[in-house]
Amino acid sequence: MSWSLIFTEQYEKRARRFLKHHPDMEKQYLKTLQLLEANPFHPSLRLHPLTGRLAGLHSVSINLSYRITLEFMIQGEEIIPVNVGDHDSGF
């Protein structure tokens, strides 16, 4: 199965801001995106649906502190990152 990452302008802005504040995370962040595109179900990503006000979105882990929230469309085989940040951020 082939997956496509679809980056919105809004997400790219958020990712640039995240990497500006966390330049040490760039390598892990890029590795996470590569793995996400190759196999979003890889156990190290810890893909899971979110609940509460983020219901309808999914999350993958960059590491224990940071995650990427995303829209995960199984039928279209498209993954649309929404935000990147720490697990405590509201979005």
- In this structure, is residue 60 part of a structural domain? yes
Number of domains making up the chain: 1
Confidence of residue 20 (pLDDT cuts 50, 70, 90): very high
Q: Which domain holds residue 13?
A: 4-83
In a domain, 14, yes or no: yes
Look up the pTM and report it. 0.87
31 token code pair: 């590795």
Angle, CA of 34, 9 and 86, to the nearest 5°: 60
Greater pLDDT, 73 or 91: 73
Q: Which residues pair with 70 in a beta bridge?
A: 58, 81
CATH number for 51 = 3.30.2310.20
**Does some domain include residue 11?**
yes
**pLDDT digits over 56-84, tens only?**
899 999 998 999 999 887 667 889 999 99
Q: Cβ atoms within 10 A of the Cβ of 4, count?
A: 11
Residue 88 lies in a domain: no
| CA-to-CA separations, 61 to 33, 36, 37, 54, in angstroms, rounded | 10, 10, 14, 16
